[in-house]
Each structure stands twice: as structure tokens, then as C-alpha cells.
């Protein structure tokens, strides 16, 4: 069983989508991106699901562990949660989603890209004192903006790749 990200719904032939699992929240994303394609996708034999609260919490924890949580959308979290329920293979070109899924031990397949070559860890780094802070699982996802205030000096933080 494969969990399909919205990219697959947009670009794969409809017959190739058959049997894939998708989150209900992807329907509104698909409607916003390509209304005509959404109607076509509705004819595919997809397994539309709502992820369980426990799976959503696992997805948030995986996103926090990899540091990707602040940049994952609610739809991304739903898709990751569905993949974690199996566990099932995840099909996505989203590098942050690939990173969080691999951190959680899932098998990931890319569609049109080569896919992420390695797993990265992300942290909040203070712009003032340069202290690194972990990404917490209760952080609200947001595609943009600064991170939390630094507890050490009070400056804002930015998301950076964790130094090894």
C-alpha cells in the first residue's frame, strides 16, 4: 500500500493512482491547485482516509525529531500520519516530508525528482548568540517566519541545518 502526496494526485495518470491511500484534507488542496484534475481524481479508486489522532501525534513527533515540523503543512502532517499508520510507503517529492518520513523509518519514493539523498536534522539557531534550540513537537507549523525567541539572549531564531 502506498500513501500518495498531492503531487502524485496532480501528475500521475489516473489508472496509476488506483489503490493509493490519501488524506481527506488533500481534496481541498487539490481543488485549490487544479479543480478539473480534482474531478478526474475522484473517479480513481483511491482509499480516502482521516488519520487517527494517535498517528497525527506520531507525525508531529517525527517532524519535531527531524526538525521539519515548523515547515510541514497540516496536509503534509495528515499524509505523514496515514503513512505511519501502516506503516506504508510514502510517495512524495516534498523534501521536508521525505526527511520527516525517513526519520520515522518509512520507505519513501519520489515522483519526478531524485529525492532526498540523506536525512538532515533542523534546529532553531539564535541570530544573536548562535545557540541552537531543538524543534518542539508542540510548535505550530508555518511555512514562513522566525522561530521562537531564544531563551538565552531573547533574540529571534531561524531554522538552520543542525551542525554535526
Residue 123 resides in a domain:
no
Query: What would the DSSP string read from start to end of 117-161?
Result: SS---EEEEETTT--EEPPPTTPPP-SSS--PBPTTT--BEEEEE
Distance CA 28, CA 116 (A): 27
- If one counts the domains in the chain, the total is 1
Tens digit of each residue's pLDDT, the chain (164 residues): 999 999 999 999 999 999 999 999 999 999 999 998 988 898 888 999 999 999 999 999 999 888 888 889 999 999 999 999 999 999 998 888 998 999 999 999 988 666 556 667 777 888 889 888 877 766 665 556 677 888 889 888 887 776 65
CATH number at residue 85: 3.40.50.1010
Residue 15 resides in a domain:
yes
Residues 6 or more apart whose CB falls under 8 angstroms from that of 94 comprise: 5, 7, 76
pTM: 0.76
**Residue-number span of the structural domain to which 29 is assigned:** 2-109
C-alpha distances out from residue 103 to 45, 99, 150, 157, Å? 30, 6, 26, 23
Amino acid at each position: 500500500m502506498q500513501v500518495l502526496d498531492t503531487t502524485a494526485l496532480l501528475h500521475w495518470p489516473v489508472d496509476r493512482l488506483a489503490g493509493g491511500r490519501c488524506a481527506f484534507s488533500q481534496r481541498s488542496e487539490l481543488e485549490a491547485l487544479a479543480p478539473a484534475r480534482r474531478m478526474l481524481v475522484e473517479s480513481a479508486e483511491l482509499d480516502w482516509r482521516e488519520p487517527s489522532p494517535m498517528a497525527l501525534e506520531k507525525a508531529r513527533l517525527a517532524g519535531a525529531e527531524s526538525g521539519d515540523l515548523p515547515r510541514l503543512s497540516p496536509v503534509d502532517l495528515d499524509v505523514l500520519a496515514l503513512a505511519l499508520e501502516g506503516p506504508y510507503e510514502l510517495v512524495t517529492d516534498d523534501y521536508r516530508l521525505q526527511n520527516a518520513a525517513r526519520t520515522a523509518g518509512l520507505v519513501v519514493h519520489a515522483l519526478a525528482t531524485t529525492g532526498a539523498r540523506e536525512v538532515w536534522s533542523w534546529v532553531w539557531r539564535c541570530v544573536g548568540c548562535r545557540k541552537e534550540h531543538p524543534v518542539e513537537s508542540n510548535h505550530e507549523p508555518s511555512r514562513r517566519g522566525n522561530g521562537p525567541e531564544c531563551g538565552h539572549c531573547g533574540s529571534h531564531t531561524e531554522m538552520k541545518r543542525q551542525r554535526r
